[in-house]
Amino acid sequence: MAKMNLLQAINEALDIAMGNDDTVVVFGEDVGHFGGVFRATAKLQDKFGKDRCFNTPLTEQGIIGFANGMAAQGMRPVAEIQFADYIFPAFDQIVNETAKFRYRSGNEFDVGGLTIRTPYGGGIAGGHYHSQSPEAYFTQTPGLKVVVPRNPEQAKGLLLASIRDNNPVIFFEPKRLYRASVGEVPEGDYEIPLSAAEVVKTGSDITLLGWGAQMELIEAAAKRAENDGISCEIIDLRTLMPWDVDTVAQSVINTGRLLISHEAPLSGGFAGEIAATIQEQCFLYLEAPIARVCGLDTPYPLSLEKEHMANEHKIFEAIKTCVNF
């Protein structure tokens, strides 16, 4: 297997998808000759031409409106929103049009071929407009799938599965890991099934659950906990909606404890939905209240970024509190 970083894995997935299917087109701000602000689409225009990989005007609402129109006509557009912080101008198009197209037309029409790619998250000293994690807004919208990879292997396999899925997908890419996460990636064409969580590591005392860049911090905290004799089971959710309830519930039945960690602020974050569901399904098995370690309920800061984030130290302390409850 070839070694590559997360960004190269995404580029390879797009290359394969476009090479195998003429209906796949890639567009967004600067994605053409420039290859996107992070170079995720580098050289795709050279290979597939300006009709299939092209720049758009700086209008996120226009990008998704255009993508909806193309998808409704049977194309498989892959639209890039340059930073997830800028997805909100397109919010109306996504939640009122993309998500509901099939439902409101009585299944006469749909935009199921649409994939929206966008880099999300902090840890790069980007401050406001370049650090937010808005995934929870979209998990509350029926009709959308929400996917977040954590490493290059997942990025390639999950993106290919997202592009070929017959439902609209928002694909959040952890930009902090774009070049930092390097690993072996299978050659050629493969898919990782959506809505299937991965048990990264088995354990017996507590289940640790996260997704995307947060997994790196969860794994680091788990190593510290294991030095203290605490056995951690680690699960990467990978798809937030629809999410793999069965895998998480079975793990919690086995361990009796659950800690969920994500970058987004605590209030209204997706951890709350997971906690409510697992409490319903596993109440009699729980040995401690379900713990959440999340970002602070403040606008994303620049100078106090480390304090804002749900870091390894906070997760480690929460593990000990949960196990000693």
- Torsion over CA: 79, 83, 85, 86 (sign): negative
- Write the pLDDT tens digit of every residue in 261-285: 999 999 999 999 999 999 999 999 9
- Write the pLDDT tens digit of every residue in 222-248: 999 999 999 999 999 999 999 999 999
Among residues 12, 29, 60, 216, which one is catalytic?
A: 60
Estimate the crossing angle of helix 245-255 against helix 270-282, to 10 degrees: 60
Hey, what amino acid is at 246?
Answer: D
Among residues 12, 80, 97, 130, which one is catalytic?
A: 130
- Write the pLDDT tens digit of every residue in 250-263: 999 999 999 999 99
Burial of 100 (0-12, 13-18, 19+ CB in 10 A): middle
- Write the pLDDT tens digit of every residue in 187-204: 999 999 999 999 999 999
Structure tokens at 282: 């596993």
pLDDT higher than 90, residue 125: no
Predicted local confidence at residue 237, as pLDDT: 98
The alpha carbon of 189 is separated from its chain's Cα centroid by a whole number of angstroms, namely 21
The Cα–Cα gap between 107 and 143 comes to 12
Whether 95 and 140 have beta carbons less than 8 Å apart is answered as no
Predicted local confidence at residue 127, as pLDDT: 84
**All residues at 6 or more sequence positions from 29 whose CB lies less than 8 Å from its CB, including other chains:** 37, 55, 56, 58, 63, 80, 82
C-alpha pair distances (Å), 240 with each of 70, 78, 135, 138, 152: 26, 19, 8, 10, 18
**DSSP 8-state assignment for residue 65:** H
Estimate the crossing angle of helix 6-20 against helix 152-164, to 10 degrees: 30
- Write the pLDDT tens digit of every residue in 3-19: 999 999 999 999 999 99
> Domains of the chain by range and CATH?
2-185 (3.40.50.970), 198-324 (3.40.50.920)
C-alpha pair distances (Å), 206 with each of 12, 241, 248, 256, 324: 36, 23, 12, 7, 11
Predicted local confidence at residue 161, as pLDDT: 98
**All residues at 6 or more sequence positions from 86 whose CB lies less than 8 Å from its CB, including other chains:** 60, 129
Structure tokens at 261: 């960690």
What is the mean pLDDT of the segment spanning 71-79? 97
Whether 147 and 239 have beta carbons less than 8 Å apart is answered as yes
- Write the pLDDT tens digit of every residue in 129-149: 899 999 999 999 999 999 999
Assess whether 130 carries a catalytic annotation. yes
Whether 241 and 254 have beta carbons less than 8 Å apart is answered as no
